[in-house]
Chain A
Amino acid sequence: MLKLQKLTKTYKTGDQALKAVDLDVPSGQVLALIGPSGAGKSTLIRCINRLVEPTSGSVMLGDVDLTKLGAAALRRERRRMGMIFQEYALVERLTVMENVLSGRLGYVGFWRSLTRRYPQSDVDEAFRLLDRVGLVHMADKRADELSGGQRQRVGICRALIQNPALLLVDEPTASLDPKTSRQIMRLICELCAERGLAAIINIHDVALAQMFVQRVIGLRFGEIVYDGSPNGLTPDKLTEIYGEEDWEATIENVEGEEVEAAE
């Protein structure tokens, strides 16, 4: 369903973040993207919905080449790609409900969104989603009153209300504690299964990735160096992705990795 062909990104500084990446994601597949900081994980995700403009190559979503679209058509296609962010990226001074409804912005007109008169079906769907993630009683709270885990749940609702075919997830757990991290990962994977969504999850916690996904992509210096099942990630493979380290301890000791990831 999503097909990247020779996707390349060279920044103005001359750094080549992505080197002709080819990737094929069938619909309904959840895959994890792992790799060291600076490997180009974030750039890859942002090149797909063109928050970062790719230098060359193509991104096929279904039959549409996203890299060729004009502004209006791009906005229409962005609706099919929900995005979840590392620091939640909620608009902090808006209420939870407004944040969720902002996922519908691509569908409603400017005046409707300005006066907050969303169609009743959108409002109902927002309540259903908030109920699904257990936050329906928080609907009228301001987003900055919420805890990290709660904010990420709102972020998930915002992505899902777009009614997407694909989720782009950028380090969903990097700012969360180990327990909340697992809950959030579980929630994302459950929701993808319920709705038959494909997802690309950027994550630098290898153990957490292995726990939840069917397929792992390893990225190093903008190139794919591993593509396979989570079980195939041997210490040798990890060394190839991340560099030399004692991997046996990392794979087993999930908490230790988390503390580092919390930055």
Chain B
Amino acid sequence: MPVLETEGGAVWRKRTTGQAMARWAMWLLGVAIFIWCWQRISDATTWFFVWDAPEIAGDILGRATPPRWSYINTLWEPLWDTLNIATLGTLAALVMAVPVAFLAARNTTPSALFVRPIALLIIVSTRSINSLIWALLLIAIIGPGVFAGIVAIAIRSIGFCAKLLYEAIEEIDRTQVEAITATGASRMQVMAYGIVPQIAPAFAGIAVFRWDINIRESTVLGLVGAGGIGLQLQASMNTLAWPQVSLILLVILAAVVVSEWVSAKVRGAII
């Protein structure tokens, strides 16, 4: 924070002139980039349709209400599938995420030079790609169905769980590990007694957290054909059966709220 010497005495400023100019330039650049982006979106948009939007929205809303309540009976089975995709996918992901996390954590990796980068690569590549894309890929490979959905959710969750888990492993209290080592315990025993109890709460928290997210994601996997309630959503949209669409959206909302409630309860019980 400079003090400028002027004729009228010392004047306090938050920034020097140069800093202020640089900041203005940054803001200007930012605004220019934003305007350019907006221009591109605008160019790609048929504004004629947009001016119609309120009317169309009103029209869709009119057709979608009231929801077709009787349709709920065909939704129970897809809901069960959705639950299974999320749960089995999460379980499979956890099984694979644990070894990856141990290989990725600085204090447990067998080789920081060779193994750790591979583990980190697995984490970042599975994490960067959305489960819907994984589902697309798996459907191309093993065909549509619930199984593809489970595998997609599992792969997507590996990186997420492994990342949080290896951060937890790196934060453990080292003296507890030291104490177990000093008793003459083997590597595996040090793991089981010194490390696992310390990360168990984090592990449980991550599992429930990810399960909650996976319920949300598995409701839409059906849009690309990977099973679950999204299949019905897609089918109803294709036939423009708006009352069914609105019912399905309500069911999905309810499922999301319930899963959030369950995961909050379980996390509360763990901590």
Contacts and interface: CB of A to CB of B under 8 A. Distances in A.
A contacts B: CB pair < 8 Å: yes
Interface in B175-202: 175-176, 178-186, 188-189, 192-194, 197-198, 200-201
Contacts of A83: 179, 182-183
A145 to B, nearest CB: 14
Interface residues of B, number: 21
B182 to A, nearest CB: 4
A91 B198 contact: yes
A93 B195 CA distance: 10
Contacts of B179: 83, 85, 89-91, 155, 158
A141 interface: no
A106 B183 contact: yes
Contacts of A94: 193, 197
Nearest to B179: A89
Interface string B190-221: 00111001101100000000000000000000
Contacts of B182: 49, 51, 78, 81, 83, 168
Given A91-B193, A91-B194, A93-B200, A78 B175 contact: no
B183 A158 contact: yes
A16 interface: no
A86 to B, nearest CB: 8
Contacts of A78: 181-184
A230 B198 CA distance: 41
A211 to B, nearest CB: 26
A76 B186 CA distance: 10
B201 to A, nearest CB: 7
- Interface centre among B179, B180, B194, B200, by most chain A C-beta atoms within 10 angstroms, is B179
A123 B183 CA distance: 17
A110 B183 contact: no
Given A83-B182, A85-B178, A91-B176, 19 more contacts: A49-B182, A51-B178, A76-B184, A78-B184, A85-B179, A89-B176, A91-B194, A91-B198, A94-B197, A102-B193, A103-B183, A105-B183, A105-B186, A106-B185, A107-B184, A110-B186, A110-B188, A110-B189, A168-B182
